[in-house]
Amino acid sequence: MQYIRLGNSGLQVSRLCLGTMNMGTPDWKPWIFNEKQSEPIVAHALNNGVNFIDLADFYSAGVGEEVVGRIVKRLARREDLVITTKVGYGTRNAINASGHSRKHIMDSIDASLKRLDMDYVDVFMLHYFDVNTPVEETMGALNDIVRSGKARYIGVSTMLTGQLAKILMACERNGWVKPINMQLQLNCAYREEEREMIPFCRDQGIGVSVFSPLARGLLTGDVQSTRNQTDFFTQQMYSDEVSFEIAHSVQRVARARGVSNAQIAQAWVANHPGVDCMLVGADTTAQFDSALAALETKLDAEELHELERNYTPCDVINDYTAGKRILRTARPGHERFTLQGAVA
């Protein structure tokens, strides 16, 4: 396992972070693992050097935190782990049971700690940017949580670069703690965060953790998985022509290497110059091992060209564009390059 200091903090984390959205109860989603099914995966990750575990109160409507909390208590020393959880979407439907108001943030940290059976989390993260709550209210509440000892650090996820700048300015004006981690979506088929967010995080000393390195399974070739057949987000994000062409490129490189599609797609992310950590949501120990191998898989210039040549700019993926994104269609090639026999 490789380790890295997260952003400008002194916190050292494994470059693979165990994602746990697939752990909790299948009553929430049909592809979720129960506690018995989840424990071998958590154990395998810990045995291979993972110390970074990502959760959210939203996962399995809170049951995810309960399940993972019990598992890690059996398997590891709390002080050896870096536990992060997120606030925003909530666990139930009620007027003040979601968002980033001071009330909901304060209620949520206490509820998460109770479910996890822990005294603190290492990183308490905003799941998105709440446009309906003043940023000073949100960040003031997070600052108070850190000062109270219920969280060691704060982080953010899935927002526009200008929104992150707004957060940092509020923290700077008021002398509040700043985020040390940005969690964002990045993979061969979705690279929009390379334009502004990743360079901005690098400039501001914020660590970058990446989720969905396999484009929700598209880049593995398994588009017929239970999750992808029951999760409309996958269709909305990755059902366009360009995404499928990129998936074919991943397959070509993988076949030439003699490794799995997943290892190549993960290697592209893991070795990206703007990425600190890669989240791995493994359904099997073999899937985790693929990500572990990806850390050491160095892609050459020709392989990178094949993986990147089909990429076309697209609408940003976030809460504000849900249901409104326009799918990409590759632009037609010039006759010079489309004649039979031309080099692909």
Task: Map residue 163 onto helix, strand or coil.
Answer: helix
Choice among 3, 59, 89, 128 that is catalytic: 59
**Residue 19's beta-bridge partner residues?**
54
> At residue 239, what is the residue type?
S
Task: Answer whether 185's CB lies under 8 Å from 253's CB.
Answer: no
Helix, strand, coil proportions of the chain in percent (round to 5)? 45, 15, 40
Q: How far, CA to CA in Å, does 147 sit from each of 86, 150, 152, 176, 306?
A: 18, 8, 8, 10, 49
Minimal CA–CA distance to 39: which of 285, 279, 219, 267? 285
Task: Answer whether 143's CB lies under 8 Å from 175's CB.
Answer: no
> At residue 136, what is the residue type?
E
Task: Answer whether 150's CB lies under 8 Å from 121's CB.
Answer: yes
Q: How many CA atoms lie within 13 A of 266 on its CB side?
A: 28
Whether 153 is catalytic: no
Separation between Cα atoms, residue 164 and residue 202, nearest integer Å: 13
Q: How far, CA to CA in Å, does 64 sit from each of 29, 128, 280, 289, 295?
A: 12, 19, 16, 23, 27
Which residues does the annotation mark as catalytic? 59
